[in-house]
Each structure stands twice: as structure tokens, then as C-alpha cells.
């Protein structure tokens, strides 16, 4: 099983830059960049909450589950 991060897609849909999202969420550009590229193994609920609030989206818009067994 895999969780795929779709933050880049949601940011593009909302036309928001990494710098702007970083300021709104209060998370460094480096950490958001890692989230955007999927190079993280965990995310805090407080960070996910702040991202969803800033982007006016649901967690399911950012996170996607895929079953590797298929």
C-alpha cells in the first residue's frame, strides 16, 4: 500500500506558490517542498489541518491511497 501526496496538484489548482503557502501555514519552504515532492514518511495532523485551511480543501484532496497489490 502507498499513500501518494497530491499537494502539488492542489497548489496548482489554487494558483498558490510554495512561498505563499509557507507563509500562510507557518511551515518552512524546505518542509513544504518535501511534502510537495512526496519525500516524507509522515505528516503531523496540525500541519495537514493548516494546509487544508489555507488551501480550502479536504485531506483527501491532498492524500491518495493506492493498493500496490493490484
Beta bridge partners of 49: none
Instruction: State the average pLDDT over residues 20-47.
Output: 94
Per-residue confidence at 1, pLDDT binned at 50, 70, 90?
A: low
CB 48 within 8 A of CB 62: yes
The domain spans of the chain are 2-66
Cell of 2: 502507498
Cell of 26: 507557518
CB 64 within 8 A of CB 4: yes
Give me the pLDDT at residue 70, please: 59
| Residue-wise pLDDT tens digits, 2-27 | 899 999 999 999 999 999 999 999 99
Report pTM: 0.89
Fold of 2-66: 434 Repressor (Amino-terminal Domain) (1.10.260)
Amino acid at each position: 500500500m502507498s499513500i501518494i501526496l497530491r499537494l502539488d496538484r492542489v497548489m496548482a489548482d489554487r494558483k498558490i506558490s510554495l512561498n505563499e503557502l509557507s507563509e500562510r501555514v507557518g511551515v518552512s519552504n524546505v518542509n513544504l517542498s518535501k511534502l510537495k515532492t512526496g519525500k516524507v514518511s509522515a505528516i503531523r495532523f496540525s500541519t495537514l489541518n493548516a494546509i487544508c485551511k489555507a488551501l480550502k480543501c479536504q485531506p483527501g484532496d491532498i492524500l491518495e491511497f493506492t493498493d500496490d497489490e493490484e
